[in-house]
Amino acid sequence: MPVKVRRLKVPNDRFGDCSQNDDHYIIRICNKLEEEQAIEILLHEYSHVISWYKCSKEDHCNEWGKAYSRVYRIFLKNILLNPNM
């Protein structure tokens, strides 16, 4: 399912969130965050997308932790360690 990412104003009690529509996921990231913070939130929320159906009762279950670990390793390997990509 496609994922749409938006930087916009979000409620004051959060830096970002993730939701599911009929045909796509939406990740919202606070537009007031610095770029580095926004990337951290994107990785966090994208991990929710990956683990959405396995973590139905809690937001940060073991499957979310595994997804976050994979997403972060891929980010480090492909983006931070290869900046010319």
CA distance 50 to 54: 9
The one-letter amino acid at 3:
V
pLDDT of the residue at 11:
84
Residues in a beta bridge with 17: 28
pLDDT of the residue at 83:
65
What are the pLDDT digits (tens) for 43-85?
999 999 999 888 877 789 999 999 999 999 999 888 766 766 5
Q: Is 51 helix (H, G, I), strand (E, B) or coil?
A: coil
Q: What pTM did the predictor assign?
A: 0.86
Domain boundaries, the chain: 3-80
Between 80 and 4, the more confident residue is: 4
